[in-house]
Amino acid sequence: MSSLTCSLVKERCIACGLCAVYAPEIFDYDEEGIVLFTQEPTSTHQYIANDQYDATLKAYQKCPVRAILIEKE
């Protein structure tokens, strides 16, 4: 499996909550409901471990405004 890098475009986030539903180990929210990374709240990029690959991909696919971007390496 190739490695996966995830980026957040916080300006696009509409606080719908789907990313935390599909990948709660990866995504969380600030006090306004805007997406952030659970482990690195101040970061806008994060490497995704292989065991979180499927959940992160699902969250990416379900995001209605593409606030989550992924890049396979």
pLDDT for position 2? 63
Domain that holds residue 22: 4-72
Predicted confidence band of residue 67 (pLDDT cuts 50, 70, 90):
very high
Instruction: Dump pLDDT digits (tens) for 25-51.
Output: 999 999 999 999 999 999 999 999 999
- Residue 1, pLDDT above cutoff 60: no
Query: In the chain, how many domains are there?
Result: 1
* Encoded tokens for 43: 């970061």
Residue 10: count of CB within 10 angstroms of its CB: 12
The CATH code of the domain that includes 29 is 3.30.70.20
Q: Which phi and psi (to 5°) does residue 26 adopt?
A: -105, -45
Q: Where are the beta strands (DSSP E) in 1-73?
A: 4-8, 27-29, 35-37, 45-48, 68-72
Determine the pLDDT at residue 47: 95
Q: Are 55 and 22 in contact (CB under 8 A)?
A: yes
- pTM metric for this prediction: 0.90
